[in-house]
Chain A
């Protein structure tokens, strides 16, 4: 038995003490939802506040090096793991993740956000109940909206 991607992300969120984690069933087909999540360069700037650009090299490789560009043109290099229903991204400062599985005719979708430096862990623990859940739910809402905008929706 292997764990499904959403369970896997839930376990990682627990392990990282992630400040942001949310999951929900979206009433849209898996293909439509995952098309948004997998389009990192096109969609991530719509999904993540303050992210101006996410540069990902073209190609089907499941391991990529991407660059996130912030509002002041600050850059952060990310290692990316991308597979069907699974995306994990990590820089020296931040971890981000998305996961999806089919659930009936809908999709269970999960999002994770965590900080890496150990000095920020107490902040992260505080952040989770205060803002993390709200941010997580907002992310899921936006994924749903973006998925509805896709052709074939």
Chain B
């Protein structure tokens, strides 16, 4: 099962075929696509909306599938899902903003942001991350977990590339550790 962008061209083709069928109203294809994309959507939502992950996942999936018919290039499915999901996750996270400043000693304990698998964050990292402002969390997810460049991250978030750069700088200085060791 695909859990996000990867290099396997067969998976991409399978996904594109499912997207085309779902766009034609094939509910079984839509269901299969939903099963395939949910882990990826969850992976994006969890660090951005840690207190409301289930809501963020549901609202992202609703937004994705409502708009699916309008997606012109089925091959661009995952990039498009990422854009929709990050926007929805930020929106959901902002609804219930409870931000408590990160303590310096908590930051010092962090050895690195990724776990061995490289796609999920440890509970400790998530805890610290959850106390960063939501716009910093979104930038970190796009730049460090998704590997987007500043211009692409800016497009997803609907802000200027310079804003992404300054937010990233601020977020990194809060963590004081590298995300990609």
Contact = CB atoms under 8 A, between A and B. Distances in A.
- Decide if A and B are genuine partners: yes
Given A1-B42, A8-B34, A11-B58, A16 B27 contact: yes
Contact of B62 (A2, A14, A97, A117): A14
Given A1-B57, A3-B38, A16-B25, A8 B31 contact: yes
A1 B35 CA distance: 11
B15 interface: no
Contacts of B95: none
B54 interface: yes
Interface in A1-59: 1-3, 7-8, 10-12, 14-16
Contacts of A11: 34, 58, 61-62, 65
Interface residues of B, number: 23
A114 B30 CA distance: 13
A12 B25 contact: no
B31 A14 contact: no
Contacts of A97: 27
A95 interface: yes
Interface in B22-63: 22, 24-28, 30-31, 34-35, 38-39, 42, 46, 53-54, 57-58, 61-62
Interface in A105-133: 114, 116-118
A87 to B, nearest CB: 11
B43 to A, nearest CB: 9
B145 interface: no
Interface of B is mostly: helix
Interface residues of A, number: 21
Given A8-B34, A12-B30, A116 B25 contact: yes
Nearest to A96: B27
A1 B28 contact: no
B60 to A, nearest CB: 10
Given A3-B58, A8-B34, A11-B58, A81 B65 contact: no
Nearest to A118: B25
A79 interface: yes
A98 interface: no
A11 B27 CA distance: 11
Interface string B105-134: 000000000000000000000000000000
Interface of A: 1-3, 7-8, 10-12, 14-16, 79, 81, 88, 90, 95, 97, 114, 116-118
Interface of B: 22, 24-28, 30-31, 34-35, 38-39, 42, 46, 53-54, 57-58, 61-62, 65-66, 68
11 contacts: A3-B58, A12-B30, A12-B34, A15-B65, A15-B66, A16-B30, A88-B31, A90-B26, A95-B25, A117-B25, A118-B25
Given A11-B58, A90-B27, A90-B28, 20 more contacts: A1-B42, A1-B53, A1-B57, A3-B34, A3-B38, A7-B58, A11-B34, A12-B65, A15-B22, A15-B34, A16-B25, A79-B28, A81-B31, A88-B28, A88-B31, A97-B27, A114-B27, A116-B26, A116-B27, A117-B25
